[in-house]
Chain A
C-alpha cells in the first residue's frame, strides 16, 4: 500500500512559466494531497451504465423530433432566382450579421481568424493559472483600464452602428461595473466578484455570438432589414 501521508515531489522552480500537474494550494488551506483519497469506482459498470442511459435518452428524443419535424426542402436550386435575404446556415449567421457592419475583409476574414487563434492559444497563456478574481488586487487601477477598453470598444461600435454587438457588450459591462462597486462576498454578486478576467472575456464573447446569431436567424428579412419572427416588418 502507498503511504498516504507522503506528498509527491516534482514541483518546478517556476510554476507560472512551466506548469506541471501540481496541487494548487489556495490561501488558508493546508497542503494535504487530496488526489490520493478521492473515491474511485469501476468504469464497468458505473460509467458504462450511465453512458448507456444518456445515449438511449438522446436516441429517443431524436426519434421523436424526427417524427414530428420534417427537414425542409425548397424548390430546385436556381442560380437565376436569388431569394431575399439569402441566408447561410444558422451557425454562420453571426458572421453574416457582422458583414452588415464591417467590410468583408474584417467580418469575413480578420475576426473569424482571430477568434480561432484566440481560442486555440487559451491554454498556453499561463497568466492567472490559479484563477484569481479580477478585483483581487490593484482593483481601482484595473477598473480604470477595463473602463477605458470598454468605452473605446463602444465608440468603435457606435461609429459602425453595430448595435447587435453594443447590446450584449453593455449588458456584460454593466455586470462588470456592478461587481466592482458591490461589496458582497456571498450570493450571486459575490460569485460574480470572484470571477477572473478570462471569465469576463469569454462571457462577453458568448453573449455577443448568441445575440448576433439569434438576430441573424430570426430578426433579419429582405435587404437584411429588421423583421419580427412572426412575420410583420418593422416600420
Chain B
C-alpha cells in the first residue's frame, strides 16, 4: 500500500496543478530542492544549504524553531479564544466559565494556550542563555542578539497582558502587584502606571487596554521582530558552531 501511495504522490507532483501551486515539480534534483526553499514564501528565509554541524541537536536544541512554533500555536489558539471572549468586566470572567462548561473543547483550547504561553517564556529564556554559552552573540551576530532581547521583552509583555484577561482573582492581583512596581520608576513612574492601567487601579479600562495590547499591538510587533530575527540568522551566516564541533565533539 505504501508503494501505491508513493506512486500516487509522485504522479500528483508531476501534474500541471501541483506545478502551478509550488512553482516546481518533485524535489528530486538539487535544483528543484533549492527551488523548494527559495521559491516558497514561507520557507525562503531559510538558507538553501545548511552546514551539517548546525543540524546537530546540541547545536541549538531547536529552541528557536520551537519558540516560533509555540508563537504560531498561540496565535491559532488565541484567535479561537477570541471568538468566545469579551474584554469587559465581569463578562470576561463568565466567558472563562463558558469555555469550561459550555463551549465544546473550550477548556482544551484554553489549556493549550496557557501551557504554550508558559512554555514560550521558558524556551525564550533557555534559548537566550544557550546562545550566550555558544558565543552566538559574537560578530557578525551582534544586532541579532539585540533583536533577541527585544523579542524576550515582547514575550514577557505578551504573557503578562494575557495574564489579566481571565479576570479572576489570580489575574487581578498578579497585575496589581506587577503594575505597582511601575510606580517605582523615577519622575514618570506613576504617570506611566496611569497610562498602562487607564486609571489609578486595575479596572475595566485596564482590561480593555491589556486586551488590545495582547491581541493586536504586541503580536504585530513580535511578528515583525521574529521576521527580522529569522532573516538575520540566515544573513549572518547561520548558527554558531564552535571550534569544538570540528572533531565531532560537543
Q: Does B181 contact A (CB under 8 A)?
A: yes
Q: Is the CB of B177 within 8 A of A77?
A: no
Within 8 Å CB of A124, what residues of B? 142
- For A29, give the chain B residue with the smallest CB separation: B243
Task: Find the A residue at minimum CB distance from B203.
Answer: A79
Question: Contacts A74-B169, A77-B168, A116-B149 known; A206 to B129 CB distance under 8 Å?
Answer: yes
Q: A62 and B135 in contact (CB under 8 A), knowing A73-B96, A91-B121?
A: no
Contact mask for chain A residues 169-199; partner B; CB cutoff 8 A; 1 contact, 0 none: 0000000000000000000000000000001
A40 close to B129 (CB less than 8 A): no
CB neighbours of B37 from chain A (8 A)? 43-44
A-B contact pairs, 30 of them (CB 8 A): A20-B139, A40-B52, A42-B34, A43-B49, A44-B36, A45-B33, A47-B50, A54-B62, A58-B69, A62-B115, A69-B111, A70-B107, A73-B96, A73-B100, A74-B168, A78-B169, A79-B203, A88-B174, A91-B156, A95-B181, A104-B184, A105-B186, A108-B183, A108-B184, A109-B186, A116-B149, A122-B132, A123-B141, A124-B142, A202-B133
Q: For B183, list chain A residues within 8 Å (CB).
A: 104, 108
Question: For residue B36, which residues in chain A have a CB less than 8 angstroms away from its CB?
Answer: 44
- In the complex, chain A residues 40-77 whose Cβ is within 8 Å of any chain B Cβ: 40-48, 50-51, 54-55, 58-59, 62-63, 65-67, 69-77
Q: Are A73 and B166 in contact (CB under 8 A)?
A: yes
Q: Which single member of A47, A54, A63 contacts B112 (CB below 8 Å)?
A: A63
Q: A66-B115, A71-B114, A73-B100 are in contact. Are A42 and B33 (CB under 8 A)?
A: yes
**Smallest CB gap from B173: residue in A:** A86
Bound together, the chains give a CA A20 to CA B176 distance in angstroms of 48
Task: Please state if B173 and A87 are interface contacts (CB–CB under 8 Å).
Answer: yes
Chain A residues touching B, majority SS: helix
Do B170 and A72 touch across chains, with their CB atoms under 8 A apart? Answer: yes
Complex CA–CA separation, A38 to B135 (angstroms): 19
The CA of A109 and the CA of B190, in the complex, are separated in Å by 13
Q: CB-nearest residue of chain B relative to A66?
A: B111
Residues of B whose CB lies within 8 Å of any CB of A are 27, 30, 33-34, 36-37, 43, 46-53, 55, 62, 65-66, 69-70, 73, 89-90, 93, 96-97, 100, 107-108, 110-116, 118-119, 121, 125, 128-129, 132-133, 135, 137-143, 145-146, 149, 153, 156, 159-160, 163, 166-174, 176-178, 181-186, 189, 201-203, 237, 243, 246
A19 adjacent to chain B (CB < 8 Å): yes
Decide: A89 and B159 in contact? CB cutoff 8 A: yes
Q: Give the CA-CA distance A38 to B163 in the complex, in Å.
A: 46
A96 at the interface (CB under 8 A from B): yes
Q: A19-B138, A123-B142 are in contact. List 10 more A-B contacts (CB 8 A).
A: A41-B55, A42-B33, A42-B49, A48-B43, A50-B55, A54-B66, A65-B111, A86-B173, A88-B174, A123-B141
B33 touches A44 (CB 8 A): yes
CB-based nearest A residue for B142: A123
Bound-complex Cα distance A69 to B110 (A): 11
A119 interface residue, CB < 8 Å from B?
yes
Contact in complex: A77, B50 (CB < 8 Å) = no
5 cross-chain pairs, A with B, having the tightest CB-CB distances, nearest first: A108-B184, A77-B172, A123-B142, A104-B184, A66-B111
Within 8 A of B (CB), among A85-113: 86-92, 95-96, 99, 104-105, 107-109
**Assembled-state Cα–Cα distance A24/B240 (Å):** 14
How many whole Å from B160's CB to the nearest CB in chain A?
Answer: 6
Please state if A26 and B243 are interface contacts (CB–CB under 8 Å): yes
Task: State how many angstroms separate the Cβ of A115 from the closest Cβ of chain B.
Answer: 10
Contact A62 B73 (CB under 8 A): yes
Residues of chain A lying within 8 A (CB to CB) of residue B43: 43-44, 48
Q: Are B171's CB and A77's CB within 8 A?
A: yes
A86 partner, pick from B52, B113, B149, B174, beta carbons under 8 A: B174
Asked if residues B146 and A21 are in contact (CB atoms below 8 Å), the reply is no
